[in-house]
């Protein structure tokens, strides 16, 4: 698979240099810049060249993120899923003794953190999508910072697109902060003429239908709709099916099996 150039590529050398220093790294980069896949892969390449067996753990908030990122990295670098790169999520994992780069959910990491043998193998911990500020991610940041006192070669990297960098700098005391704002695609924002209530009621789904039909009539391309929950997703499918019979409507959410998510 040919790699698509991404905005973060030209910054990888600088980022890698900072990550191999003694200080925590705060990486704030635009959505779609490539931070989730390109940065951990670059660190793995460096470890392979140096013949260092340290493990790289990338903690992500969602199962599908762990699976898709691990798969993508393997495709881009001609690695095998479950060999150099793997993932660990609830009820499923794909790793082996040779796996150095592991994507896992926050819950899975907290479970594995109770194993001292696992922890002492870790050289790099990435906390991705940190702006979501789940309590479990805050807890992981705390235990990792504490662990670094006893495990000096442990490096912490916090990544996000919209986090409060200054607050994290105060937390760490000393750190490297890297800012990369280079969106890969032009984004055009169109706002409704009237303010909508924060309720997914009949009026909401009527507006959703009209907005989707307008977008389809203009572009005739793929449309991605974000909704707060499973009930709203199912209702949206019910509303859109009659008016878009020629379009394939697919659902994607965390309750699906990993095979269906693929």
Domain boundaries, the chain: 7-180, 202-261
> How many other CB atoms sit within 10 Å of the CB of residue 66?
27
CB 119 within 8 A of CB 147: yes
Domain at 7-180: CATH code: 3.40.50.300
Residue-wise pLDDT for 18-30, tens only, equals 999 989 999 999 8
Are residues 89 and 115 in contact, defined by beta-carbon separation less than 8 angstroms? no
Give tens-digit pLDDT for 79-92: 999 999 999 998 88
Q: What is the mean pLDDT of residues 55-70?
A: 94
pTM score of the predicted model: 0.83
Instruction: Compare 105 and 256 and report the one with higher pLDDT.
Output: 105
Residue 220: per-residue pLDDT: 83
pLDDT of residue 184: 63
Backbone angles phi, psi at 158, to 5 degrees: -105, 125
As a whole number of angstroms, the distance between CA 57 and CA 159 comes to: 13
Specify the higher pLDDT residue, 153 or 1: 153
Q: What is the pLDDT of residue 1?
A: 63
* Three-state secondary structure call for residue 132: helix
CA atoms of 262 and 257, how far apart (whole Å): 9
CB count in 10 Å sphere of residue 190:
8
The model's pLDDT over 124-176, given as tens digits with 9 standing for 90+, comes to 999 999 987 788 999 999 999 999 988 989 999 999 988 889 999 999 999 99
Range with lowest mean pLDDT among 33-42, 61-70, 131-140, 149-158:
131-140
First vs last C-alpha separation in the chain: 18
Contact 230, 202 (CB under 8 A): no
Measured in whole angstroms, the distance separating CA 69 from the mean position of its chain's CA atoms is 7
Cα separation, 222 vs 140, in Å, equals 37
Q: Which residues of 31-52 are buried (b: 16+ CB within 10 A; e: fewer)?
A: ebbbbbbbbbbbbbeebeeeee
Structure confidence at residue 12 (pLDDT): 97
Pick from 9-23, 37-51, 192-206: least confident: 192-206
**Pairwise CA distance, residues 109 & 111, whole Å:** 5
- What DSSP character marks residue 5? P
pLDDT value, residue 164: 87
The percentage of the chain sitting over the pLDDT mark of 70, rounded to a whole number, equals 95
> How many residues can be counted in the chain?
262
Other beta carbons less than 10 A from residue 26's beta carbon = 26
- Rounded Cα distance between 13 and 145, Å, is 25
Chain centroid, CA 148 distance in Å: 23
What's the pLDDT score for residue 73?
Answer: 97
Helical residues (DSSP H) of the chain, grouped into ranges? 12-19, 35-50, 63-77, 106-112, 116-120, 135-150, 165-172, 202-219, 230-240, 258-261
Comparison of pLDDT for 194 and 128, the residue scoring more: 128
Helix (H) or strand (E) holding 127: strand 122-127
Closest by CA position to 174, among listed 14, 23, 15: 23
Confidence at residue 258, expressed as pLDDT on a 0 to 100 scale: 63
Checking if the pLDDT of 217 tops 80, the result is yes
């Amino acid at each position: 698979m040919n790699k698509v150039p991404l905005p973060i590529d030209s910054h990888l050398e600088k980022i890698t240099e900072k990550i191999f220093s003694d200080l925590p790294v705060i990486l704030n980069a635009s959505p779609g810049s490539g931070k989730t896949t390109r940065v951990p892969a670059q660190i793995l390449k460096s470890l392979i060249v140096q013949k260092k067996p340290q493990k790289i753990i990338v903690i992500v908030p969602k199962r599908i993120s762990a699976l898709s990122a691990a798969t993508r990295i393997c495709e881009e670098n001609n690695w095998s899923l479950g060999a150099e790169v793997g993932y660990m999520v609830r009820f499923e994992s794909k790793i082996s003794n040779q796996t150095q780069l592991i994507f896992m959910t926050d819950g899975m990491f907290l479970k594995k953190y109770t194993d001292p043998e696992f922890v002492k193998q870790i050289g790099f911990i990435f906390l991705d999508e940190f702006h979501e500020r789940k309590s479990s991610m805050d807890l992981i940041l705390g235990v990792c910072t504490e662990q670094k006192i006893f495990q000096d070669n442990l490096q912490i990297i916090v990544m996000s697109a919209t986090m409060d960098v200054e607050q994290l700098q105060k937390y760490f005391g000393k750190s490297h902060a890297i800012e990369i704002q280079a969106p890969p695609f032009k984004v055009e924002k169109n706002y409704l003429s009237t303010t909508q209530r924060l309720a997914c009621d009949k009026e909401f789904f009527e507006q959703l239908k009209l907005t989707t039909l307008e977008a389809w009539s203009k572009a005739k391309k793929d449309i991605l709709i974000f909704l707060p929950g499973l009930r709203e997703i199912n209702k949206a499918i019910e509303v859109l099916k009659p008016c878009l019979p020629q379009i394939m409507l697919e659902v994607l959410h965390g309750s699906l099996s990993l095979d269906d998510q693929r």
